Amino acid sequence: MGQLIKLQDYVSRYEQNIYLYPSRYVRLKKQQWGKLLSSWESGNQVFEELPAQPALSDWYEEEKVPLSERAKGFFKFRKKESETIVETEEGTESISAEEDPFQFTPSFSVRPNSEEDLKRHFLDQLFSYQMKWASTTLTEKSFVDKKFFYDERLKYFLQRFPDTFLVLYNPIFLLKKAPVEVETILISPTDIWCISFLEKEESAVFVGSNERFWLKRNQQKEEKVLNPLISLNRTEKIIKNILQLYEIELPIHKLVLSRNGYIDYPAAPHGINLIERRNYDKWFQSMRLNRSPLKHVQIKAAQALLQYCQTTSIRRVEWDISTKQDNG
């Protein structure tokens, strides 16, 4: 499951410490899944005892809680000295509640019928928590557009790719005080992918050219679509300039992705990857089979890009209240 390190211009805890959270996420997710699978295989009744956790209702429930009650809960959280012991290859690591980025315990109203069912529910619940991690920190929060909870493409990156892939989904860079929205950026341990989706109805055919618009053909009809290479080239240029500034060397690939259609562009420019219905499975499996662990150069590249991303957020009310209480 890819890690969402930046969603549009929302505040992200990965911005605070990109060297800490990715590896910790991988370890803790593996532990949680292992415990859940073990409980399911042993027929543990925990599945019948715990309430279900709908993604959206959990997310917006906090906004309905009276301010005074939220503040009480925050003070309680700050005073609680609980710790999580994480097992690693080097030994054990103690993580305090405030440090732990993975405060996630999956729950179910009924016992899943199969391991595949169990995994699907686990990933769906984990997705909603990833959205929290990508839009809140201990002191700040951003207001997430509800559409992202139903965004199939966002779920595609977070649920179908390896844990070691870092995702910047439609990030907004702040360059010379001007916001610039770019394509989705996928940082693997070995490469950086700039990905532009070109998907309409099933089996549509896209005819490429070096013009501002391409043609989409389907059922004898034609219409113009904006040339995806325009935004891809802009995305690549921004990434390349930032990496050069920090002397980071990592291959950058530009990809036009059409999972349900076809792309006809025999004279495509050099360096453009056209992945469509006929070659999608081969490309996708090659990405999923990337078993490389998180790498230093990958994290360094992510940190450099995050430094130039725009962030729009407000200070959490609970934090202001606690500050006044401490100074009182």
Per-residue pLDDT 10s for the chain (328 aa) are 899 999 999 999 999 889 988 988 888 888 889 888 888 888 765 555 444 444 444 444 444 444 334 333 333 333 333 333 333 333 344 444 444 455 677 777 778 888 999 998 889 888 988 998 899 888 899 999 999 999 999 999 999 999 999 999 999 999 988 999 999 999 999 999 999 999 988 989 999 999 999 999 988 789 999 999 999 999 999 999 999 999 999 999 999 999 999 999 999 999 999 999 999 999 999 999 998 999 999 999 999 999 999 999 998 765 555 444 555 5
Closest to 157 measured CA to CA, from 149, 147, 165: 165
H or E element at residue 161: none
Q: What is the pLDDT of residue 208?
A: 95
Structure tokens at 94: 């103690």
Q: What share of the chain is helix, strand, coil (3-state, %, to 5)?
A: 40, 20, 35
How far out from the chain centre does Cα 192 lie?
A: 15
Residue written as tokens 């530009």?
254
The answer for residues whose C-beta is within 8 angstroms of residue 202's C-beta and 6 or more apart is 260, 261
Burial of 264 (0-12, 13-18, 19+ CB in 10 A): middle
Distance CA 183, CA 4 (A): 14
CB atoms within 10 A of CB 324: 9
Structure-block tokens of residue 220: 């004898």
Question: In this structure, are residues 231 and 171 in contact, taking their beta carbons and an 8 Å threshold?
Answer: no
The predicted structure's pLDDT at residue 68: 39
pLDDT of residue 94: 43
Instruction: Tell me the residue type at 304.
Output: A
Residue with tokens 């532990």: 31
Residue 187: both structure tokens together: 């940082």
How far apart, in whole angstroms, are the C-alpha atoms of residue 269 and residue 227? 13
User: What's the rounded Cα separation, in Å, for the pair 252 and 239?
Assistant: 8
pLDDT of residue 328: 54
pLDDT at 88: 33
Pairing verdict, β 262-264 and 205-207: parallel
